[in-house]
Structures are given as C-alpha cells and as structure tokens.
C-alpha cells in the first residue's frame, strides 16, 4: 500500500495550489475515507479535509472552509486538494491518507478526519506560502 503526494511548492499569499495523491496497492473506489492533513512546525498533524468515497460527504477544518476543495478520481485512484486564497498560516507539510470507512456505519466522516482515524499515509509534501 502506497500513497504518493505531488504538487506542493512555494506560492505567494493569495495564490493557489493543487495537491495530488496517487494510491497504489489498494483501490479506494468503495468503503474508504480519504483525507488531507497538515503539519506545521511545532504543531500536531491536523485534518484539513476528508471525504467519504461511498456517499461523498466531506469534512473541512474551519481554516479550510470556503478555500479548499477535496476531490477524487476513483478511476485513476487519485485524490486532490485544491487550495485557493492561500495564507502564510497554510504553510506546512501536507499528507494524504486513507482508511477503510463504511458510510452510515455510525460515525461521521468528521469523526475519522484525524491522525488516529487513518490507516495509510503518504510521506508528505511541503507547501510554503510567502507573505
């Protein structure tokens, strides 16, 4: 099982980036939760956005609402995070992650959008937003 991120880099405040994550070794076409997480210097890894592949329900951190959009291309086993109106505080290492998740099983997608809710992790990619 492998997740590989791409698309990070340096961008000015107000700009946009699109992160991509390609999965191999498994398919998240059904019964999976996928997500993007951020770890900034000196801070814990936090859930930026997660999506239930089964029903399309999403969860966004307050800091990401209205600016970031999570999506998938199940046929290509890829997930994306479109980030607009970037701010310096968005700087950090971004990780994609996935875990088995059955929609309607009793927990919301928000309940697994954290470090302990995910089973598979990419190695991360750096996003730097300059002011």
pLDDT tens digits, one per residue of 11-65: 999 999 999 999 998 887 788 999 999 999 899 999 999 999 989 999 999 999 9
Cβ contact 45:36 at 8 Å: no
β-partners of residue 94 are 38, 125
Q: Taking the CB of residue 24, how many other CB atoms lie within 10 A of it?
A: 10
The owner of tokens 């950090």 is: 92
Confidence of residue 74 (pLDDT cuts 50, 70, 90): confident
Cβ contact 3:25 at 8 Å: no
pLDDT at res. 82: 98
Segment 78-96 mean pLDDT: 97
Nearest to 23 by CA among 8, 35, 38: 35
What single-letter DSSP state applies at residue 124?
-
């Amino acid at each position: 099982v492998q997740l590989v991120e791409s698309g990070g880099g340096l961008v000015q405040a107000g700009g946009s980036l699109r992160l991509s994550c390609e999965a191999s070794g498994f398919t998240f076409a059904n019964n999976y939760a996928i997500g993007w997480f951020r770890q900034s210097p000196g801070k814990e890894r936090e859930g930026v956005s997660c999506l239930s592949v089964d029903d399309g329900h999403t969860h966004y951190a307050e800091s990401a609402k209205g600016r970031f959009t999570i999506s998938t291309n199940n046929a290509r086993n890829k997930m994306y995070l479109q980030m607009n109106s970037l701010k310096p505080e968005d700087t950090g290492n971004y990780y994609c992650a996935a875990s088995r998740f059955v929609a309607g099983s009793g927990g919301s997608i928000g309940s697994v959008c954290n470090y302990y809710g995910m089973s598979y992790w990419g190695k991360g990619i750096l996003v730097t937003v300059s002011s």
